Amino acid sequence: MPVFNQSRSYIIRLIFIIAFLVMLGQLLNLQIISGKYQKLAADNAIFKKTVYPSRGIVFDRKKKAIVNNVLMYDLMVTPSEVKNVDTAYLCQLLEIDTAEFKSRIIEAIVKNGRYRPSSFEGLLTQEKYARLQENMWRFEDKGFFLQDRLVRTFPFNAGAHFMGYTGEVDSGIIARSEGFYLPGDYVGRTGLEAYYEKVLMGQRGLQYLIKDHRNRLVGSYDNGSLDQKAISGRGLNTYVDIEIQQLAEKLLTNKIGAIIAIEPKTGGIIAMASGPTFNPNDLTGADFKKTYGKFVLDVSRPLLNRAIKGQYPPGSTYKPIGALIGLDEGVINQNSGIGCTGAYYGCARPVRCTEKWAGHSGNLRQSIAHSCNSFFSMTYRLTVDNPKIGNVKKGYAKWKEYMNAFGYGNPLGVDLPSEDRGNIPDTTRYNKVYRGAWNSCTNVTLGIGQDMMLATPVQIANAMCIIANKGYFYTPHFVKEIENETKEDSVLNRFRTRHQIPVHISNSDYEDVIDGMEDVTIVGTAAGIPKIPGINICAKTGTAENKIVLDGRALQLKDHSLFACFAPREDPKIAIAVIVENGGFGSTWAGPMAYLMIEKYLTDSLRADRAKEVDRIASTNLMPGYLPRLQYKEDSARAYFYFNLTKDSNYIKKYLHKGYTPPPVKKEQDTPKTRVVYRKPELFEPEKGFLIRKKNATV
C-alpha cells in the first residue's frame, strides 16, 4: 500500500488547477480584453444590403409623367451553383456563344467570388426577358435567377436633353460625395436628374442580413430590428408640356439646333429641345452602353443640350434689344429712321442690308419689321458714341451693362447643370484684340447681333420674356414644385423671385419695340409665314453668318436660321427662341417652327394643314454637309491613335483599303446671295471644345 504517494494527489490537483487557470486566462483575453472579435464576427456574418429607393417621378404641367420607373430584370448567376446547366440552350436564349458564356462566368467569379451572385446579363431586353421567364425553371436551381431592378423610362419618348440620364456612380463622384454615394448607386449624370439629384434620389434603406460561411444569405439579422426602410425619391412637378416638347423634338428631327419655349409670367420652361434629337429611352436600360458610345463619337454631338450649351450669334434677334437700348439712352426715338439703300455706309466698310427699297427703314417700327441692318448699325454706333457719356469705351461699357441686364453674357442660372454664358465681350477684350485702337465702327456689327456677340438659345428666349413682361423676368426653370415640399427645399426659392432688370426702360419704349415686332409678322420679314387666326405674335427673325475651318480651309456655311418671339401680344403666354443651324433665313425654318409651337400651345391643337407642315419640316434633313467629312477625320484620327497605342492594324485597315474614298464635303446649296460682310464675326464652332479635347487624346 503505497501510502507515501498520497501527497501526489495534491500535485495532480495542482496540475488540474494550473491547466484550468491557463484556459481561463486565454478566455479572459479572447472574450473581454481583446475586444476585436465582436467586429470580426459581425464582418463574418452580417451583410448590410442596400435597399435602393425608387427615384422620384417627373411630371409635366398636366400631371403626366415625363419620367417614370419601370421594373427590369438582371440575370444573375452564382458561379458555385452552376452545375448541369443546359449551356447551349441558355446561350441560344441570350443570343451568345459558349465561349462568351464561359468568359462571363469567369468575369462573375473575378468580380464577386464564387459563392456570391453577380450579374450575368444586366437589364434584359423585353424579348430576352420574355424568353428567359418561360424557361427559368430549367436554370433556377442551377445558380441562375432573375433580379428585379428599377430603371428610368420615358413614356413619351421625349425630354432627353433636359431630363438627362442616370448612371452608376464613378470613383470621382464617390470621392466628391465624401462617402455619401457607394459603388453601385445610380446617380443623375446630367440634366434635371443631376440638378435635383437630392430630391429625386430619396433615401437608401439598409437591410441587415445574415450570411453563412459560404456567403449565402440565410435570413434577416435580429428579425430586421436594425433595418432602415428605403424612402423613395420625391416627384417633381414641372412647367413642361410634354406634347409641346414632343412637337419641338419632332420639328428638330435631322437638324442641328435648339428650341426653347418659356412662360414669360413665371419663367417656367414649357419645352426645351436640342437637335439632333434622340429617344431618351435609348439611354436607359440595356442599350445604354451601346447608344452612349455611339453618341459620344458622333460629331453632330447629339448629347449636347444646345438650348443651354449652344452659343450662337443672335443675329437680328438682338435688334429689339438694340432698339430698346437706343430708346432708353435717348439716341433714337420712335420716329428715327435712316435712308437705307442696301447697306450702311457710316463706316469705312459698308454693312450690307437685305432690303434696299425706300421706306423699309423710315422709322423704328419699320426698321424692326424689315430688320434693317443700316438702322441698327446706326443705333449701335449712336449708343456707344453717345456724347453724354464721353468716349466709345465708356459708351461700350454702358451698352454692355444693358446687355447684361437683358441676361446676355452670363449664365442665367437655369435649373440644369453646366449652362453656358454666351459672350458679350468686355472692353478689355477689344483693347486686347485691337491694341486699344478701336471705335464704334470696329465692332459695328454688334448692332446686328454679330461680331463677338454670342448667346445661348435660352438667353434669347429669356430676352423675349423681358420684352414681353416689359422689364422683369423669372429665371427660366423647369420645376414648379417638389412633391411634399418643405422649408428645407430652398433650391426653388431662386426661381420664385421676380427679377426687375437693373436698367429702367419706360413702358412706351417697350410698346414701340413690341409694335415693331408685331409688324414683323404682319408686314415684315416673317409675314410669309401663315398666320394663326386670333393670335398676335410679336417676333424677330434672325439670320446669322457662320463658318468653320475644315481641312485647313475656312468654310463659309449656310446661315443659321433664328427666330425669337412671344405671343399673344396682349397677354404673353409663351416666349420662344428657335435656332436651326445652317437653315438659312430666319423665316425659312425657325419661324414656321415657332409658329407651330405657339399654335399647339395656345390653341391646344394644330389645324390639319399645320399638321402636314409639321411632317414636312420633320422630314427635311438640314444636317450640314461637312459632317461626314468631319466624322471621317475624327474617326480616322482616333483609329490612328489606337493603332499607335496597340500596334493593331485592324484599327486602320478600313482607311488603308484601296477602294476606300473618304466622303467629300458636300456643296452647300442655295446660299443666300446677300449677306453681311465687313468684319468676320467670331466663328461659332460647336465642335471646337470637343475637337480640342479629342486632339489632346489623339495626338
- Between 47 and 690, name the residue whose CB sits nearer to another protein: 47
CA angle 530–465–403, rounded 5-degree value: 115
CB 34 to another protein: min, Å: 6
Query: Count of alpha carbons within 13 Å of 547, Cβ hemisphere only?
Result: 14
CB 204 to another protein: min, Å: 24
- Between 70 and 210, name the residue whose CB sits nearer to another protein: 210
- Between 38 and 133, name the residue whose CB sits nearer to another protein: 38
- Between 22 and 88, name the residue whose CB sits nearer to another protein: 22
Calpha distance 406→428 (Å, rounded): 21
CB 215 to another protein: min, Å: 10
- Between 8 and 432, name the residue whose CB sits nearer to another protein: 8
- Between 42 and 692, name the residue whose CB sits nearer to another protein: 42
CB-CB neighbours of 436 under 10 Å: 11
CB 41 to another protein: min, Å: 3
Instruction: Tell me the three-class secondary structure of 281-296, residue by residue.
Output: HHHCHHHHHHHHHHHH
Give, for 260, the enclosing helix (H) or strand (E). strand 257-263
Cell numbers placing 463: 430676352
Give the amino acid at 477.
H
CB 310 to another protein: min, Å: 56
Give the amino acid at 516.
G
CB 17 to another protein: min, Å: 8
CB 26 to another protein: min, Å: 5
CB 224 to another protein: min, Å: 13
CB-CB neighbours of 621 under 10 Å: 7
- Between 23 and 297, name the residue whose CB sits nearer to another protein: 23
CB 15 to another protein: min, Å: 8
- Between 16 and 345, name the residue whose CB sits nearer to another protein: 16
The string of DSSP codes covering 520-556 is: HHHTSTTTTSPPPTT---EEEEEEEEEEEEETTEEEE
Cell numbers placing 169: 456612380
Cell numbers placing 317: 434677334
- Between 39 and 673, name the residue whose CB sits nearer to another protein: 39
Helix segments in 190-348, DSSP class H:
191-195, 197-201, 242-251, 288-297, 306-309, 319-329
Calpha distance 546→532 (Å, rounded): 32
* Preceding omega of 276 cis (within 30 degrees of 0): yes
Give the amino acid at 407.
G
Give, for 601, the enclosing helix (H) or strand (E). helix 590-603
CB 213 to another protein: min, Å: 5
CB 412 to another protein: min, Å: 57
118-121 and 65-77 beta bridge pairing: antiparallel
- Between 15 and 296, name the residue whose CB sits nearer to another protein: 15
The contacts of residue 423 (CB under 8 Å, 6+ apart) are 311, 409, 452, 453, 454, 455, 682
Residue 613 phi/psi, 5-degree rounding, is -60, -40
- Between 31 and 671, name the residue whose CB sits nearer to another protein: 31
The contacts of residue 288 (CB under 8 Å, 6+ apart) are 123, 165, 167, 282
Binding site for another protein (CB under 8 A): 1-2, 5-6, 8-9, 12-13, 15-17, 19-20, 22-24, 26-28, 30-32, 34, 36-38, 40-42, 44-46, 210-214, 218-219, 221
